[in-house]
Amino acid sequence: MSTHTFILNGKRVTVDVDDNLRLLWVLRDVLDVTGPKYGCGINVCKACTSHFNGKAFNPCSVKVKDVGPEDEITTIEGLPDTVGKDLHPMQEAWLEYDVAQCGYCQPGQIMAAVAKVRQAQAAGHEISDSDLDEIRNICRCGTYNRIREAIKAGAAHM
Ligand code: FES
Ligand code: FES
């Protein structure tokens, strides 16, 4: 066990856990931040997708010792604060398009969507179908068509 400090949803947090514990379990079991879902635990399903310094990552595949004190982790819980509103535009689009079915994969889908739109904007273009094809988050309920429509709508307000 040793202490690890990082920034979670805008606040500095410190945990005392095994160096090799992966971040998803630190978030969910130690810090009680349960938006990132546990699906596969092996970096395949993307249910746990969150942001590491603004980029999409899967906390089930990162050991807590690999997160530094200045690293910023954002989960779905902290997403609205990044725009200073109650809901991020991507969450509003999700509601407008009534995307969720069981809902399990959806926090990860939204976090992946926001990161993908940011990536496209940084590259100077609008989100395209080929960008959307790169999102690998699995939805066992098959909401993929609504996800794609919502991402395009949400992107227009980002
Ligand atoms: S739980 Fe992290 S990718 Fe599946
Ligand atoms: S909405 Fe059920 S897994 Fe995606």
Instruction: Provide φ and ψ at 111, rounded to 5°.
Output: -65, -40
For the Cβ of 44 lying below 6 angstroms from any atom of ligand 1, the answer is yes
- In this predicted structure, what is the pLDDT of residue 24? 98
Residues in CB range of 61: below 8 A, 6 or more apart: 22, 42, 43
- Give dist(CA 42, CA 75) in Å, integer: 18
- Residue nearest atom 4 of ligand 2, based on CA coordinates: 139
DSSP assignments along 19-44, one per residue: TT-BHHHIIIIIS---SS--S-SSSS
- Give dist(CA 110, CA 49) in Å, integer: 9
Ligand nearest to the CA of 23: 1
- In this predicted structure, what is the pLDDT of residue 1? 86
Q: Which H/E stretch holds residue 119?
A: helix 106-122
- In this predicted structure, what is the pLDDT of residue 94? 98
- How remote is the CA of residue 107 from the centroid of ligand 2, in Å? 10
- How remote is the CA of residue 13 from the centroid of ligand 1, in Å? 23
pLDDT tens digits in sequence order for the chain, 158 residues long: 899 999 999 999 999 999 999 999 999 999 999 999 999 999 999 999 999 999 999 999 999 999 999 999 999 999 999 999 999 999 999 999 999 999 999 999 999 999 999 999 999 999 999 999 999 999 999 999 999 999 999 999 99
For the Cβ of 104 lying below 6 angstroms from any atom of ligand 1, the answer is no
Phi-psi region at 46: left, alpha or beta (left = phi > 0; alpha = psi -120 to 50): left
Instruction: Let me know how long the chain is.
Output: 158
- How remote is the CA of residue 13 from the centroid of ligand 2, in Å? 30
For the Cβ of 40 lying below 6 angstroms from any atom of ligand 1, the answer is yes
- How remote is the CA of residue 100 from the centroid of ligand 2, in Å? 6
Instruction: Indicate the pTM of the whole model.
Output: 0.97
